[in-house]
Amino acid sequence: MKRKIVYTIILFFVLFIGGCNSRGISVTTVTGEVTYNGTPVENALISFVPQTPNGRGASGQSESNGAFVLLTQGATQSGAMLGEYKVLVSKVVEIDSSGKEVKRELVENYDPVNPPQQKMYPQKNLLPEKYSKEDSTEFTVTVEKGKNHFKLALKD
Amino acid sequence: MSKYIGGGGYTNWLIHHCLHAISLLFARTIASISARFGKQSFVRRAFTLVELLVVIAIIGILIALLLPAVQAAREAARRMQCSNHLKQYGLAAHNYHDTYQTLPPLAIWGQSGIDRYSWQLALLPFMEQQGILGMIDAGGVAASMDGTTNYPAGMRAETWDINYRPWRTDFSIRHCPSDGNSNQEAAQYFTGTNSYAGNVGDCSSNWSTMTNRALRGAFMRVQSRNFAAFADGTSNTVLFSERTVAVPESGSQTRNAKYALAVCSTTGNGSPDWVMGALDPNDRKRIKSTGGWDGQAWSGRRWNCAEFCYSSFHTVMAPNTVSAILWGNVSANSPVITVSSYHTGGVNLTLTDGSVRFVSDTINTGTTSVSAWHTADSARGTYGESPFGVWGAMGTIASGEARGLE
């Protein structure tokens, strides 16, 4: 008798806690690394363009060793939705007249009434242009359940 | 369960003690019944373990069932109040249209040539806030907070002037009750918060020159639209929605309360992908990339101002994702403002026909890649199809796709 009651109580709590499901977009971890002619690329933008209906795009930015983690709009965790994607890789920087990359400093305490003026520079993609277009990219990947790791080796 | 129990305060305490009293009564009843029908009548006996367990179990189940329900009901009530506020805005816009045959513009010209007065001011007479406009029209020392500054009559004050009483006058309709930050005190440059914003479509545009792209949503910058311009149908186009108010915080970690206000590097000024890519995967309220501006927490903190980050939103990114307040060059400041709220799983919005809907975070947002953004930029023009799925289609007034929520 006592045992039955204890079991009933446990059952109730299990059922109750089981009802606390979270909603939202379910994603799975997607990591990878970007190399260009064998060397890792820093600050490249990686976009996963969904090829499956109701898919959602994911994107990430690479670290100094070329590694990246994908994020998806609306998901509460890092990752991408399951399905097939085309992968776009680009690294757009501003260049000055000598063709050097312009590094900008972080500006703190921005004054909205008298905003300091920034100079505009032309922009350039440091990676081959074919990797930034959906119809010319060579990378088509499928994100599967579990952990995914993609090595993106870019060549001229 | 823990998310429900936290932050209940007084109500939690009350429920707890009520339940305690009920359970004591219950235990007494059981004890007296068992005493009356037991063999040992007129002899007080102690509780058995089973009785204790049963009582504890009942209390536990009651608490477990009641607490989340109470908390969820309170949030549901707040959400309902929020949708009521949006309904008021929708009605006000319709009454404005009945009077002037157009919707209000995003920005109203002030008398000193300032084109920064928000559509909020245009709707004030239709929301029983005529007093604020009366104060603006009268001017004088009565319109100042310190009681000494003599303001000229009419719309001449700067939108960031926190000494100007009309800007500091609060009315509850402009706050979403779920957003605890929408009651901030005025701070330097920030006159007062508001939760609701107008739809400017799926294109990011430069505020000062408006050269980048035309605004394709319900609001244009200085001109105004009438219902005839909504070729996709007023039931398929968003008019107002809500956006969380940012939390003031200095330093390079620009945050708002829900998601980061992205301050992208000046390069790659383009697509939502750039904004997502710049997010730190380990702390999604933080932006990884440096360079460019350290954006202060601006969003929604100047209710009377028409600049994008105060008055409007774009139907580009899915609800409750990242906003980019200050990206691109500051002289070509083209933000992407995303709707957001503290309601679970989505945001409230007013459609142009005046109805209020709840839209889920998982609404279809189409392709948001860099190439789609740029191709679309050159190809779509004023009336092209939106690349941002159902959400983009609902943000544009005449893009040829009558896609609605259903």
* CATH code, domain with A151: 2.60.40.10
Residue numbers in A near B367 (CB within 8 A): 49-50, 57
DSSP single-letter state for residue A80? B
Could you tell me if B13 and B63 are in contact, meaning their C-beta atoms sit under 8 angstroms apart? no
Select the residue of B290, B294, B371 nearest A132 (Cβ to Cβ): B371
Q: Using an 8 Å Cβ cutoff, are A68 and A81 in contact? A: no
Contact between residue B360 and residue B343 where contact means Cβ atoms under 8 Å apart: no
Assess A56–B contact: CB distance below 8 Å, yes or no: yes
The shortest CB-CB distance from A59 to any of B276, B290, B291 is to B276
B252 interfaces chain A, CB cutoff of 8 Å: yes
Q: Which of A25, A92, A117 is nearest residue B331 as measured by Cβ atoms? A: A117
Q: Is A116 in Cβ contact with B330 (below 8 Å)? A: yes
Q: What type of residue sits at position B261?
A: L
Of the two residues B175 and A116, the one the predictor is more confident about is: B175
The enclosing H or E element of B242 equals strand B238-242
Q: What are phi and psi of B101, to 5 degrees?
A: 65, 15
The C-alpha of A57 sits at a distance from chain B's nearest C-alpha, in angstroms, of: 6
Confirm if B154 and B217 have CB atoms less than 8 A apart.
no
Select the residue from B367, B371, B388 to test the A interface by mutation, using most A Cβ atoms within 10 A. Answer: B371
What is residue B99's predicted lDDT score, i.e. its pLDDT? 96
pLDDT higher at B311 or B382:
B311
The partner residue sitting opposite B329, judged by closest CB among A58, A90, A120, is: A120
Residue A90 within a domain: yes
Inter-chain contact B268–A117, Cβ cutoff 8 Å?
no
Cβ-defined contact of B330 to A69 (cutoff 8 Å): no
CA distance A155 to chain B (A): 20
Q: Tell me whether residues B370 and A104 touch, CB distance under 8 A.
A: no
pLDDT in tens, B184-223: 888 888 899 999 999 998 877 777 665 545 678 899 888 8
Residue A110 with chain B: CB contacts under 8 Å: 293-296, 326
Domain assignment present for residue A22? The answer is: no
Integer angstrom CA distances of residue B331 from B109, B157, B263, B362: 21, 23, 15, 34
Contacts A–B by Cβ distance under 8 A: 155
Residue A14 inside a domain? The answer is no
**Nearest CA-CA distance, residue B102 and chain A, Å:** 31
Q: Distance of CA B276 to CAs A86, A128, A135, Å?
A: 17, 22, 22
B279 — pLDDT class (breaks 50, 70, 90)? confident
Render the burial of B340-375: b for 16+ CB within 10 Å, e for the rest: bbbbeebbbbbbbebebbebebbbbbbbbbbbbbee
Q: Which has more pLDDT, B289 or B45? A: B45
Whether the ipTM is more than 0.85: the answer is no
In tens, the pLDDT along A49-79 reads 888 877 888 889 899 899 999 998 878 888 9
Nearest CA in chain A to B323: A73
Over range A120-130, report the average pLDDT. 84
Give the pairing type, strands A83-90 and A140-143.
antiparallel
Concatenated DSSP letters for B152-204?
PSSS-S-TT-TTBHHHH---GGGS-TT-TTTTPPPBTTB-B---EEEE--S--
The fraction of chain B above a pLDDT of 90, given in percent, is 34
Pick from B398, B184, B215, B187: nearest CA to B311: B215
Lowest mean pLDDT among B58-67, B302-311, B340-349, B369-378: B369-378
In 3-state terms, what secondary structure has residue B129? Answer: coil
Per-residue pLDDT band for B98 (boundaries 50, 70, 90) equals: very high
Q: Say which of A50, A57, A106 has its CB closest to residue B273.
A: A57
Amino acid in position B147: G
Contact check, Cβ <8 Å, A71/B276? yes
Amino acid at B262: A
How close A103 comes to chain B (CA, Å)?
7
Roughly how many angstroms between the first and final C-alpha of chain A, as a whole number? 76
- Cα–Cα distance between A126 and B136 in angstroms, integer? 54
Q: How far is CA B200 from the centre of its chain?
A: 15
Residue B209: helix, strand or coil by DSSP?
A: coil
pLDDT at residue B134 greater than cutoff 50 = yes
pTM attached to this predicted model = 0.79
- CA B326 – CA B338 distance, rounded (Å): 13
Residues in B 255-294 with any Cβ partner in A closer than 8 A: 265-268, 271-274, 276-279, 281, 284, 288-294
Using 50, 70 and 90 to split pLDDT, how confident is the model at B35? low
Residue of B nearest to A13 (CA): B61
Q: Which pLDDT band, with edges at 50, 70 and 90, does B1 fall under?
A: very low
Cα→Cα distances B353→B88, B239, B319, Å: 13, 9, 21
**Burial grade of A111 (CB within 10 A; 0-12, 13-18, 19 or more):** exposed
* B contacts of A72 (beta carbons < 8 Å): 276
Spans of all domains in chain B: 2-72, 73-395
In B215-234, the residues whose Cβ lies within 8 Å of chain A are: none
Which of B295, B331, B368 shows the shortest C-beta gap to A73? B368
Q: Which of A23, A60, A69 sits opposite B345 (nearest CB)?
A: A23
Tell me how close the Cα of A38 comes to any Cα of chain B, in angstroms.
23
**Which A residues 105-144 touch B at CB under 8 Å?**
105-110, 112-113, 115-118, 120, 123, 132-134
| Domain extent at residue A142 | 27-98+128-156
Q: How many domains does chain A have?
A: 1
DSSP string, B332-389: G---B-----SSTTEEEEEETTS-EEEEETT-------HHHHHHHHHHHTTTSPPSSH
**Partner residue facing B250 (CB), from A6, A58, A109:** A109
How much is the pLDDT for B3?
37
Per-position b or e across B297-335, b if 16+ CB within 10 A of its CB? bbbbbbbbbbbbbbbbbbbbbbbbbbbbbbbbbbebbbb
> Inter-chain contact A88–B369, Cβ cutoff 8 Å?
yes
CA–CA separation, B85 vs A76, rounded Å?
28
Residue B186 contacts A where some CB pair is shorter than 8 Å: no
What tens digit of pLDDT does each residue of B65-85 get? Answer: 888 888 888 999 999 999 999
CA distances from B383 to A45, B268, B338, B374 (A): 30, 25, 22, 16
pLDDT in tens, B322-355: 887 766 555 556 778 889 998 988 999 999 999 9
